[in-house]
Amino acid sequence: MAWDFSTEPEFQKKLDWVADFCENEIEPLDLVFPYAVRSKDPKIKALVDPLKQQVKDQGLWALFLDEELGGPGFGQLKLALINEILGKYGSAPAIFGTAAPDTGNMEMLAAYGTEEQKERWLYPLMNQEIWSAYSMTEPQGGSDPNLFKTTAVKDGDEWVINGEKWFTSAGRAADILFVMCTNGMFVVPRDTPGVEIQPFPSTHNHIIYKDVRVPLDHLLGPEDGAKVLAQRRLGGGRIHHAMRTIAQCKKAFDMMCERALSRESHGKIIAEHQMVQEAIADSYAEINMLRLLVLWTAWTIDNSSTQEARRQIAACKYTMAKVLKEVSFRALHIMGSLGTTNLTPLQAMYAGAPTMGLADGADEVHKVTVARSVLKDYRPHEGLWPTEYIPAKRAKAREKYADLFASDPDLLKYADAMEKYMASRGH
């Protein structure tokens, strides 16, 4: 899909429908029935399921999946434009069948699962009959797989898993856990004996795996292939996080601008104060720079692959956390004391920014990835002086005109005079 800063009219109608649906159906549900989307209560499901069906009727279910897997096959660019809306509303991604961590886990199953594994786990995940979590990070090793200690040992017709995982988001509410071991990726039902979910943290769970036994066919992909599967999963997950982060930044920006026009300070509305104007101008530029980076990355994935866009995805990862932090803080500050409370979304946005800087790998790691990748495109300069050292470049340029100077002394005289003039100015 070529992208020329415009959206096809037919797809724009879809975006308009999504915006209206989220504002008038999903947001009221979130406000009155928080966490309804994961509830198994029949009365609550009777509120949620019809909303999911409306999404399916629009052909917008499981947006991130290709058509052969039950998704619309939109590609990453169109997904980005939709996620810019969904990210504003807590349960919208789940009601559209595109919520983390299930999306990344489904991508792994789609790419590496056997047909039997897809029947057992992928399709139920797609239909939200079950929920999943991704159990990767470890207390002693963070997100560095080279420091992981969780292992799976083959014992007859079973694998025995032992280890400790930290920050398994939504692990307590999951039906299945994708556990990254030193020797493979394993699917572990949460209620398997030996899966011990600790009381804290409450959302990003600490899990101890103590002699957890699963059948041999619970290995996903090849043995010793966990790192490859993880990169496949996390690459898509990072760009999807960035898409939704744009929505959060826009929401904070809207609140900032509305407040700036609504309050007075020192005899005039605060929008007329230059420091407030600076906050608005800086936020506007940063949001749109992030947005263009994300859309360009999505376009690159659509026209190549996630692997080919690895550098751009990493840049999106650390940029989104920085922009969310800056914009949400400015909005919170302009909101005043109200912004420090939980009565608006701003406090949660600002508090969530550090998490975005650590989730799916610390920002510093991704900056290293980008720097190393960029430097592969460069070579050291020859000799003492850098390529753009002006005296050396000027001398080289004079060689180009040597024949002309030989035939026309006036031009040589003019060039010498200009060289002396530039030297007198320090050039």
Burial class (CB within 10 angstroms; exposed 0-12, middle 13-18, buried 19+) of 192: middle
**Model confidence pLDDT, tens digit, residues 174-194:** 999 999 999 999 999 999 999
Q: Mean pLDDT in the chain?
A: 94
* Residue 319 pLDDT class (50, 70, 90 cuts): very high
DSSP secondary structure, 381-403, as one string: PSSSS-TT-HHHHHHHHHHHTHH
- Whole-angstrom distance, CA of residue 102 vs CA of residue 92: 14
pLDDT greater than 90 at residue 266 = yes
> Which residues of 248-309 form beta strands (DSSP E)?
264-265, 268-269
Residue 260 neighbours by CB distance under 10 Å: 20
Closest residue by Cα to residue 120 from 228, 191, 217 = 217
Check pLDDT > 70 for residue 107: yes
Percentage of the chain surpassing pLDDT 70?
99
CATH superfamily membership of 130-220: Butyryl-CoA Dehydrogenase, subunit A, domain 2 (2.40.110.10)
| Encoded amino acid at 152, one letter | A
Residue 353 CA from chain centroid, whole number: 12
Distance CA 8, CA 61 (A): 20
User: 160, 157, 192: which is closest to 176 by C-alpha?
Assistant: 192
What does the pLDDT read at residue 191? 97
Average pLDDT over residues 222-231: 92
Q: Kindly report the backbone phi and psi dihedral angles of residue 172, in degrees, each rounded to the nearest multiple of 5, phi listed first.
A: -65, -30
Percent of the chain with pLDDT over 90: 87
Contact predicate 242/290, CB 8 Å: yes
Q: 52 vs 307, which has greater pLDDT? A: 52
Question: Sorting pLDDT into bands at 50, 70 and 90, what band is 307?
Answer: confident
In CATH, what is the architecture of 228-375?
Answer: Up-down Bundle (1.20)
What would the pLDDT profile of 229-241 be if each residue is shown by its tens digit?
Answer: 988 787 678 899 9
Per-residue pLDDT reduced to its tens digit, 48-94: 999 999 999 999 999 888 887 778 889 999 999 999 999 999 999 99
pLDDT at residue 1 in the model: 55
One-letter amino acid at 167 equals F
The tokens of 367 are what? 């900056």
Structural contact between residues 415 and 401, judged by C-beta atoms closer than 8 angstroms: yes
Top pLDDT among 367 and 423 is at 367
The phi and psi torsions of 162 (rounded to 5 degrees) equal -135, 135
Tell me: pLDDT of 2 over 70: no
Residue 427 pLDDT > 80, yes or no? no
Indicate the domain borders of the chain.
Answer: 9-99, 130-220, 228-375, 390-424
Distance CA 93, CA 95 (A): 6
**For residue 306, what pLDDT band results from cuts at 50, 70 and 90?**
confident
Predicted local confidence at residue 288, as pLDDT: 98
- At residue 227, the pLDDT reads 92
Cβ atoms 43, 24 nearer than 8 A? no
pLDDT of residue 65: 83
The pLDDT of 242-263, averaged and rounded, is: 97
CA angle 157, 158, 159 (to 5 degrees): 140
Closest CA relative to residue 287, chosen from 319, 259, 261, 311: 319
The better pLDDT of the pair 67, 344 is held by 344
Alpha carbon distance 309, 242 (integer Å): 14
360-412 confidence digits (pLDDT tens): 888 999 999 999 999 999 999 999 999 999 999 999 999 999 999 999 999 99
| Helix ranges (DSSP H) in 133-225 | none
250, amino acid identity:
K
Contact in structure between 117 and 220 (CB atoms under 8 Å): yes
DSSP 173: T
pLDDT greater than 70 at residue 43: yes
Judge whether residue 118 has pLDDT over 70: yes
